[in-house]
Structure formats: structure tokens, C-alpha cells
Amino acid sequence: GRLEAVTQQMGYHPQYLDSFLKTQHYLMHMDGPLPFDCRHYIAIMAAARHQCRYLVNLHVLQFLRAGGDPQWLRGLDFIPPKLRNLNEINKILAHRPWLITKEHIEKLLKISEWSWSLAELVHAVVLLAHCHALASFVFGCGCEQDEGPGGRGSLKPLSPGNQCFCEVGNGCSQELLRINRKRSLDSCMELESLRECVQRIHVETEGREEMRLLQQDREEGEGQGVEVGVQDGTEHRSDPSVGLFPLTDTDGEVTGATNLACYMQDPDFGYQDFARRDEDQTQVFRVQDYSWEDHGFSLVNRLYSDIGHLLDEKFRMVDGLQSSAMAKRQGCEPSVFKRGIWNYIHCMFGIRYDDYDYAEVNQLLERMLKVYIKTVTCYPEKTNSEMFDRFWKQFKHSEKVHVNLLILEARMQAELLYALQAITQYMI
């Protein structure tokens, strides 16, 4: 009966969770350019780039539920060439999105037998960026790791009888997917049910926060320097029934892949610092020349109906989250603090704002926070369980989740800007 881990974490900010669930559901389950099984396989490919077993396993199950060919789960060598051709843009988007060019787009659109349509490609790009950024959130909030008492909540293994985060409040059973694929967004979302679910999540997360603060006070009273995993003199061992599990079907057979390498090529390709002092900086992406508001939104909404509105709502929602406590601790206004985090993340991907003084970043963000943000953003698979607990020890859990939501949305927008700009250049 426990809520799925991503939903638990986002539940600290129920308004954002509402927006996220609508977008997730629309991407994966509503009418769109791509077949349902392909959507989940693309999500598998994206999550595998960051070795995120948590998301891979979720989408393996959803892929099979959508009628996907089990042979595809053997790896990229067993999928149609059209889908396999997406591997290159997946790799670049995940690690060095500034390398994407209109030639990459042209290659996918011009292959005669296995060509993509513009609408299909936009849907695929949004899925890739969504899952890359979500992998950052999963690792950043510790959803990939086992949790003990007093932590972020013990998790039950997902089985076909449970709901995944893309289904909460939406009633997306296999029968609904088969019969009602053509329903409108408003009728299928069952928004009232979704709001009730979000409210329930909010109540649960408030209770967990109170328990965490009580536990923290107890630990501080017993003295500093207690080893991780040892509380009240008792060692908490990992319970084999909680944490990360391969998915199982109704007969108990494991369906999740144990070797994620089969879902990607060139596994050594990873993030490299964009700002190299010895490199030409002419490739800096200037938001004044191509922005989400003025360019990306209209393009994506034209080629994939309504998704632009949902993404825009999600970007605005995370920007509107209350952060007065965080900002007060840093001695600045909430908007200034959030913009510092957002612009720092974009800067790591070579995106610059001409009207921003980047000296503010070093003034606003302490070194440990910057290390955490960069790790979660650029190579989330290197995030360990201690990093979340150790950065900003004086901050509430909900505030740390807020930072991870900013990372998720800033990273997703950065990837989308590069991909949509390349598509625009191809179309000109």
C-alpha cells in the first residue's frame, strides 16, 4: 500500500506533483505520434544512459503491458532499425546536448525506409529529455537506494497490481489503454481523483517530515559523529523486502533487465565540462537568440499538440514553489536564489543569459551545494546516499526535494532547447 518512491518525494510539493503527473500521463498514455510500446522503450533507452535501474524496471513492465515484443528487451540489437537509430541523439542529449546539430535531425528524418516524421521525433525528444531529467531526480532523492526507518520511506517492490508514478490517480489499467486511447485529456485524467490522491500524498509527506525531524533531534541529542546507518545504538540492516527490485510478472518471473548495457552503445561517452578555457566559446547557447518562451514552446506545441502547454505549466510551477526558508538562510530573495540554481545548471550545459551576473552564483551557492547540483545534473549515477543527507544538513527534507525539482526542470529545459533549436535549423 505504500506510494511509489518518486510520488512520495514529489508529494512534498503537491501542486508540482499534480502538474508532473498530468505531463507524465500525457506523454506515456494519451493519443500521440508514437506507439505506446515505443514510448516506454524510448524511456528505457533514456534511463539506461544513466544506469537508472529504477526507471528501466518501471518502463520494462509498462512496455510489456502495452503489448511490447519481449524480444526487444534483449537489447538494441533486437529492436527495429528506426528505433535503434535514435540511440545517437539519446546519447548526446543525455551527456553533451550542445553537440546536437541539424545534421543529426536530418539523418533521422531522411532515412527512406526507417525515417521519422517531425511529429514523431519531437515526441521522442521530449520523452528522452523527460527521462534523463527524471533519472537525475531519482538518484538525487535516493529513490534508487534502500531506505531504513526514519529515512525517506521504505518502498515495496512494484508488481503488476501496484501503480507506478505515471498511473497515480489516472486509472490507466491495461483495459483502459486498449479501449479508451482516443479519449480527451480532461476526460481521461480523472482530475478530481488525481487531486484527492495528491492531497493524500501531501498528508503522508507531512507526517514523514515530522518523523524525520524527531529522529534528527534525537540523534543530535545523543551526540555528533554517529556513523551512517547506526541510530539509537542499533544498526539498521537493509531489509530484503524494500528498496530497488527487479519487476516480476504474476508468475514471479523477473522481467527487468539485469544488464543495462544492452540498451545503449558507447557506454564510455559521458558528460564533459562545457566551459573549457582552451576551447572556442562561440558555441555558447544564448537564450536571447533562442528561448523556450519565444521559440521552443510554439514549435513543440505545433508538432505535438498540447504538450507545450503541459511542459510550460510544469516549468512555471517549479518556479512558483515557495522557497522563502531556503532563501532566508542564504540571505537573499527567493526569486534570486532559485534563479541562481537554475542559471548555474544551464551554465553547465553551455546556456548563458546575457542579463545575468554569474558572479552571483558563487555568492548564493556554497561549495557543497554546487558539488551536489553538478553531480545530480551531469552524472547522477555517481550520486550516493550520503550526498543527499549531508548537503544542507540544516534544511528540511522538503527543501532538498525542491532543489532536486529545480534540477529536474532546468536540465529538461536545457536538453529541449538544444534539440528544438536543431529541429528549427533543419526546418529553415
* pLDDT tens digits for range 163-209: 455 554 443 333 333 333 333 333 334 444 544 555 555 555 555 55
- The predicted model gives 104-120 an average pLDDT of 90
Q: Which residues pair with 248 in a beta bridge?
A: 254
Asked whether residue 252 is assigned to any structural domain, the reply reads no
Q: Is the separation of the CB atoms in 379 and 271 below 8 Å?
A: yes
pLDDT level of residue 355 (50, 70, 90 thresholds): very high
Residues 372 and 365: their CA atoms lie apart, in Å, by 11
Q: Is the pLDDT of residue 337 over 80?
A: yes
List the beta strands (DSSP E) in 265-423.
285-286, 351-352
Q: Is residue 229 part of a domain?
A: no
pLDDT value for 428: 86
CB 61 within 8 A of CB 160: yes
In the chain, pLDDT over 90 holds for what percent of residues?
55
Considering the candidates 38, 52, 131, 347, report the single residue annotated as catalytic. 52
Distance CA 89, CA 271 (A): 14
Q: Please give the pLDDT value at position 283.
A: 78
Q: Span 111-138, mean pLDDT? A: 94
What crossing angle do the helices spanning 397-427 and 102-110 adopt, rounded to 10°? 70
The phi and psi torsions of 314 (rounded to 5 degrees) equal -70, -40
How confident is the model at residue 211, as a pLDDT? Answer: 58
Spatial CB neighbours of 110, under 8 Å, sequence gap ≥ 6: none
Q: Kindly state whether residue 68 falls inside one of the protein's structural domains.
A: yes
Cβ-proximal residues to 37 (8 Å cutoff; 6+ apart), any chain: 63, 66, 67, 68, 69
Q: Which pLDDT score, from 0 to 100, does residue 276 have?
A: 58
Average pLDDT over residues 127-144: 94
3-state secondary structure of 162: coil
409 within a domain of the structure (yes/no): yes
Model confidence at 273: pLDDT above 90:
no
Report residue 63: phi and psi, to 5°.
-60, -45
Burial of 279 (0-12, 13-18, 19+ CB in 10 A): exposed
Q: How confident is the model at residue 96 (pLDDT cuts 50, 70, 90)?
A: very high
Distance (Å, rounded) from C-alpha 317 to C-alpha 61? 30
Give the helix ranges, DSSP H, for 66-183: 81-84, 87-95, 102-110, 118-140, 174-179
Range of the structural domain that residue 109 is part of:
1-145+265-427
Q: Which residues pair with 254 in a beta bridge?
A: 248
Q: How many CB atoms lie within 10 A of CB 135?
A: 28
Crossing angle for the helix pair 397-427 and 191-222, nearest 10 degrees? 130
Share of the chain above pLDDT 70, in %: 69
Mean pLDDT score, 271-279? 68
Do the domain assignments include residue 103? yes
Q: Which of 80-84, 127-131, 227-231, 412-416 has the lowest mean pLDDT?
A: 227-231
Residue 146 in this model has a pLDDT that exceeds 60: no
Give 24's Cβ-side CA count (13 Å radius).
22
Mean pLDDT of 150-158: 34
d(CA 176, CA 118): 28
Round the average pLDDT of the chain to a whole number and report it.
77
Write the CB contacts of 34 (distance below 8 Å, at least 6 apart in sequence). Answer: 42, 120, 123, 124, 127
Residue 235 three-state SS: strand
Side-chain half-sphere exposure of 249, counting CA atoms within 13 A: 11
Euclidean distance between CA atoms 193 and 210, whole angstroms: 26
Please check whether residue 242 lies inside any domain of the structure. no
The pLDDT of residue 113 is 80
pLDDT value at 262 more than 70: yes
Q: Give dist(CA 309, CA 33) in Å, integer.
A: 17
Q: Residue 234: beta bridge partners?
A: 231
- 314 pLDDT exceeds 50? yes
- Predicted pLDDT at 310: 97
Rg (CA), the chain: 21
Q: Does 183 map to a domain?
A: no
Helices 36-48 + 14-29 axis angle, to 10: 120
CB 172 within 8 Å of CB 164: no
Query: What is the pLDDT at residue 165?
Result: 53
Check pLDDT > 50 for residue 119: yes
Q: Report d(CA 281, CA 196) in Å as an integer.
A: 50
Residue, of 248 and 123, whose pLDDT is higher: 123
Q: Which residues of 79-118 are buried (b: 16+ CB within 10 A; e: fewer)?
A: beeebbebbbbbbbbbbbbbbbeeebbeebbeeeeeebeb
Strand partners, 351: 285
Q: Categorize the per-residue pLDDT at 405 as very low, low, confident or very high, splitting at 50, 70 and 90.
A: very high
Helices 118-140 and 14-29: crossing angle, nearest 10°? 140
Summarised one tens digit per residue, pLDDT across range 201-245 is 555 555 555 555 555 544 544 433 322 222 223 233 333 222 222
Question: How many folded domains does the chain comprise?
Answer: 1
pLDDT for res 197: 54
- Other residues' Cβ atoms within 10 Å of the Cβ of residue 60: 27
pLDDT of 304 higher than 90: yes
- Cell numbers placing 192: 478530481
Could you confirm whether 52 is annotated as catalytic?
Answer: yes
Residue 393 identity = K
